[in-house]
Structures are given as structure tokens and as C-alpha cells.
Structure 1
Amino acid sequence: MPLPDLSLSLQFARFDEAAAHRAVLPRHKVARWIRHALALPAEITVRIVDAEEGQQLNRDYRHKDYATNVLTFDYTQEPLVTADLVLCAPVVAREAAEQNKSLEEHYAHLLVHGTLHAQGWDHETSEADANEMEAYETEIMQGLGFADPYAKD
């Protein structure tokens, strides 16, 4: 079965470690990870930001005053998924190290996670929804050749 079409804009804010993050996020890999999580064609912007921008967006839109790993701004879900995914590079790097994962693997997981949110998946509504979303993320990640992102070492 062919993967859905994707129009991707990949953006990097200017910050000290941007080159290292850009190196693990080539456009073809980002597109592949997102397309495997899509059920419909999509137009998605992915923006990699520093802690300051990540915190400001989380504070302004979610009223939580800290930088988080991924923010999903979903605009439409049918007939075309349109969304912005904002990933905070320092948070992603810290979490990858804490979880003994490569930076690439953690970015892949968060892009899959954010893409599912853009399509209406929500792990904060109930434990059953969280379990279903985690199981689907695991299936997608394993299909991409990565380990179960929720497995405990």
C-alpha cells in the first residue's frame, strides 16, 4: 500500500547546536517518518527550535511555562492533514540521553507522535486512549526499524 503524499517544510531556528540537529534530520528521513504515521495526504511544517522559543510557544498556546519536546498545532484533519510540529532541540537531546536512545531515534518517535496528534490521536483523554496510541506508535516505529519507544531498559 503506498504511503500518503506529504508536502513538508523543514525549518531550523538559529541556535548554537542547530547544525548537530540538522545533521540527524535530513529531509528524506523526516518525510519517511511522518509519512509512515499518516492516514491521509498532508501538508506539515516541522520546526526545530531552541529552549526559549519552545518555552514561549508552550506558554502562549498551552499555558505551561516550560519547554516541551514536541508541540502539535493541527489545523485540518480531512481531506488533508495540515499541521505544524515544533520540536525543542535541547529537550529532545536531553530526553534521548536520559532514555539511552540516539538523537535520530528520539526525533523519529516524536515526529511520529506529533503526526498522530495532528490526526486527532490523544493520549491525555483516557488511559485506554494512551495505551492505544502508544501501541500504534510502537507498531510504526518498529516498522521503521526502531525499537519500541516505550520499552523500559
Structure 2
Amino acid sequence: MSAGPEISLEIAVEAGEWGDVTALEALALAALDAAAADLAQREGQPFPGHPPEVSLVLADDAMMAGINAEWRNQPKPTNVLSFPAFPLVPGGMPGPMFGDIILARETIEREAAELGKPVDAHITHLIVHGFLHLFGYDHIENNDAEKMEAIETRILASLGLSDPYGDTEPVLHRRDDDR
């Protein structure tokens, strides 16, 4: 897949041990670039003419539990939360700031171990997942979940990562009509 719209990324380490933020920034930019290219080319998603901004907030479980309690009335940590800067439906024109993606380190590490996958692969999946939420994709209804999961799987396959919803090998040969 050719290059898609450029994304400007701002990273804020708010809580937790995140290690080499430069390496994490490169990982996040690769995930966001692949997701933006896929949405533009495969889903017809419009993008503004200038590089829009995504904020990646790196948190720990305690911080994430507080945010989750405040915004979702669920006082427990979760792996990723997304907060769009402006309400958007898939296919709508986003503004100059897409929004915030917040990651919780301990939850991500625990889940990666349980799934038997590298932490970086799980982080990549969650960044793609959060990015899709910024564009209005959701997984509450089954048909919406199937659509979102198919897009996520396709983006991750373009990065050489396996299907997080089933397959153990990259799904590089999935047909377009499998969505």
C-alpha cells in the first residue's frame, strides 16, 4: 500500500514506566501511517490538507482507572481509551486535531503475556484500534464490530502482524470482499 496522509504525533508520558519513548514514537507513527493510508485508500476516508495531529498519552493502570471511571463510569483500568477532538462518523472530514489515544502500560503488558504476543505488537494493535475510534468506528453492535475488526486486521497485516481476533499468522491474503 502506498503512503497515506501524514499524521503529526504528540506523545505525553503521564504515568508509568514506558522505557524508550523514541522507539515507541517510531512504532506509533508506523501504526498511524498504515491506518491513515488504509482509511484513505480502502475506506475513502477524507483527510485535511495539512498533517492532522494525534495525541498519544502514556499512562499507568491507576491513571487509566481514574479516566475510565470519570468518562465511562467504569472504575477499572482498560488497555486503550480514545477521545475524539470532534464527533465524527466514518467518512466525515476530521478537523486539524483528531484526538487523544490513551494507553495503560500494565494492562497492555498483562494482556500481551496472556495472548503470547510481543508487547510492541499489542501496542501497535491498540494504537490502530484507538485511531479507528477517533474516526467514529465502534464495536458495540455486531455488524459495526465486524467492520472495525476487519479494518484493524487488514492494517495490522500490512505491518506484518497477525490477526488479533483469531488467526495466528499475518493475514496478507485476505480478500477485499471478506469484510
TM-score normalised by length of structure 1: 0.89
Shift of 1:149: 1.0
SS at match of 1:19: coil
Shift of 1:94: 0.4
Shift of 1:152: 5.8
The percentage of counterpart residues that share the same residue type is 33
Q: For residue 60 of structure 2, what is the aligned residue in structure 1? A: 50
Q: How many residues align?
A: 149
SS at match of 2:101: strand
Structure number with higher strand proportion: 1
SS at match of 2:77: coil
Cα distance in 2 between the residues matched to 1:62 and 1:13: 20
SS at match of 2:5: coil
After the TM superposition, which of the residue ranges 65-74 and 6-15 deviates more from structure 2?
Answer: 6-15
For structure 2, list consecutive stretches of 5 or more residues without a partner in the other structure.
40-46, 169-179
Cα distance in 1 between the residues matched to 2:147 and 2:94: 23
Q: For residue 29 of structure 2, what is the aligned residue in structure 1? A: 31
Task: Please tell me the residue identity of whatever aligns with 1:97.
Answer: A
Tell which structure's C-alpha radius of gyration is larger: 2
Q: For residue 18 of structure 1, what is the aligned residue in structure 2? A: 18
Aligned residue among 114, 132, 148 for 1:98: 114
For structure 1, list consecutive stretches of 5 or more residues without a partner in the other structure.
none
Query: Are residues 1:145 and 2:134 paired?
Result: no
Task: Please tell me the residue identity of whatever aligns with 2:68.
Answer: N
Task: Please tell me the residue identity of whatever aligns with 1:83.
Answer: G
Residues 77, 104 of structure 2: 8 Å contact kept:
yes
**Alpha carbons of structure 1 residues 4 and 64: separation in structure 2 relative to 1, 3 Å:** same
Residues 24, 104 of structure 1: 8 Å contact kept:
no
Root-mean-square deviation (Å):
1.8
Shift of 1:111: 0.2
Cα distance in 2 between the residues matched to 1:130 and 1:43: 25
Query: Are residues 1:135 and 2:136 paired?
Result: no
Q: For residue 138 of structure 2, what is the aligned residue in structure 1? A: 122
Cα distance in 2 between the residues matched to 1:61 and 1:45: 18
Residues 15, 58 of structure 2: 8 Å contact kept:
no
Cα distance in 2 between the residues matched to 1:121 and 1:132: 8
